[in-house]
Structures are given as structure tokens and as C-alpha cells.
Amino acid sequence: MSAAGIGSRREVERWIREGRLHINGAVPALGAKLGERDRITLDGRPVRLHADDAKESRVLLFHRSPGENLDIKAATARAAELLKAPRSSGRWLAIQPMPPVDGGLEILTDDGSWANRVSRGVHALTIDYVLRMRGALNEPLIEEFRNATDCEGEAMSILNAEPQFGAGANHWLNVTVRATRSALVRHWWAARGIIVSRLMRVRFGPVHLSRELPRGHSRAMLPSERNALVNEIDAAVAAAATATAGHREPADRLLA
């Protein structure tokens, strides 16, 4: 069911534990497989699950304007019209959506399993933001930002920050982070008197927001892009696990 976008894996598992989900009149075991003729009900209401829904999952790249709410229904409906594709009967999900005040690259999918897999490893990806800023931006402040490790008690990981100083009040900063929310970036600069008037996500791991994708428009994510994203997540998670294991104290030292 999660693969067809009916709900996330956690939601489906919770429905099963709560006894709300039934297959052929009985509460299924976790991980139970569905057949084409199985009858599914949620809270007593029939749930239609077509075989094609799970096979033809969709992933979209959406360019959202800063300050606009992420209207998933409108974005996916418009994409279906532009791509001349049938609308999905499943539920669309956003992968690590940006806050309403920010914008840029959003990834939408009706494949709950794929969304769950990517969301679990998104902390290991590197993300690029572009910031438009107002205030007395200077190199010492930028260097301090590069070395920042926390903001308001929450960890930050700033991998790079390259400025583009403007002639007027506005300046631009290209930032690469890992496991760092855009809100933290805003708050860090605000605490130093610099206002971030615009923040855009322009890269999500190996996936870039290109100039060919106008604001308010979507395009289908290519299979090669989907594979690259999952592969980078798997590699980054594995590398992080190896690094963590390497920093553990040997057992004989811990017991000494």
C-alpha cells in the first residue's frame, strides 16, 4: 500500500497495529503481501488499489516560489496535464519539503516506499542553498558561518559558503550543508543582524534545479536521476556508519 501512495509505511503499520486496516475482513500481519483480488478496508471504508498504481510510480521535480505554500494537489494536477499522463489515484508525498517562507527544488512522489527510503537517508545528503541577504556581510562573518557547528542548540554542518557581494544592500551567498535545516541558516544570520530575504534550495544530493524548470512548473524525474539519488543516499549512509564504527573505543579499552 505504501508503494501505491495510499500512505507512508509508518502510517500503514500504525493502521494495522490499531486494527483499522483489514484485508479480506481480517487485520493483516506487518509486511503482508497484497493480491490483485484482495479486498482492503480502512476504518470500514473500501480502499481501491490498482495493480498499475504500484508499478507506475511517479516522481516529480517541482520549482516552488519562495513564500508560497506547497500545494501538492495543484502541482501534481498541473504536471499531469503538461506531461499528458494520467493522474495518480494514490496520495502524493513531498520529500523533505522546504518551509513556506523558502522555495526552490521540491521532490514529489506517489510512491510511499520510495519516499520512505529517501527520507530515511536524506540527512546524509549534501544540499545547496542560495541566500539573498541584507546587512553588513563581510568575510570574517562568512568564515565564522563556515565553522558554525550549532544554532539555538541544534547541530549544523556547513560544508561551504561562497559569497557574491552586491553593489547595493543585497548580497548573495551560495551555501552547501548536510543535515542542516534552512530555518537554522536563517536564524544564525538573523542573530548577527543579517536578514535572509530569500532562501532557495537549488540542489538535493545529485539532483539540481535547472534554469529550464520555471517557477511553478514540474517535470518528471528521470529514472537515471532517481537511481543516482538512491545510490548516493546508500553510499553516504554506509560511509557514515563506517566512520561511526571507526571512532568507537575498542572493547578492551572500554573495560580497562
CATH number of the domain within which 142 lies = 3.30.2350.10
Q: Per-residue pLDDT tens for 65-81?
A: 988 877 777 766 666 55
Q: Give the pLDDT confidence score for residue 86 in this predicted structure.
A: 44
Specify whether 78 is located in the same domain as 179.
Answer: no
Model's pTM, two decimal places?
0.71
Q: Give the pLDDT confidence score for residue 247 in this predicted structure.
A: 58
Whole-number Å distance between alpha carbons of 213 and 61 = 9
Measured over all CA atoms, what is the biggest interatomic distance in the chain, rounded to whole angstroms? 69
Inter-CA distances, 36 with 5, 15, 20, 26, 50, Å: 16, 21, 21, 17, 7
Structural domains in the chain (count): 3
Instruction: Please indicate, yes or no, if residue 49 is contained in any of the structural domains.
Output: yes
3-state secondary structure 77-95: HHHHHHCCCCCCCCCCEEE
Specify whether 48 is located in the same domain as 66.
Answer: no
Specify whether 20 is located in the same domain as 139.
Answer: no
Q: Give the pLDDT confidence score for residue 40 in this predicted structure.
A: 86
Specify whether 197 is located in the same domain as 136.
Answer: yes
Specify whether 113 is located in the same domain as 213.
Answer: yes
3-state secondary structure 117-181: HHHHHHHHCEEEEEEEEECCCCHHHHHHHHCCCEECCEECCEEEEEEECCCCCEEEEEEEEECCC
Q: Give the pLDDT confidence score for residue 133 in this predicted structure.
A: 94
Inter-CA distances, 60 with 5, 70, 85, 247, Å: 14, 13, 12, 39
* Average model confidence (pLDDT) across the chain: 83
- Residues of the chain with pLDDT below 70 are 1-8, 36, 48-56, 75-90, 244, 246-256
Full domain range(s) for residue 158: 126-204
Instruction: Please indicate, yes or no, if residue 244 is contained in any of the structural domains.
Output: no
Q: Give the pLDDT confidence score for residue 52 in this predicted structure.
A: 45
Specify whether 94 is located in the same domain as 110.
Answer: yes
Whole-number Å distance between alpha carbons of 163 and 158 = 14
Specify whether 213 is located in the same domain as 105.
Answer: yes
Q: Give the pLDDT confidence score for residue 48 in this predicted structure.
A: 66
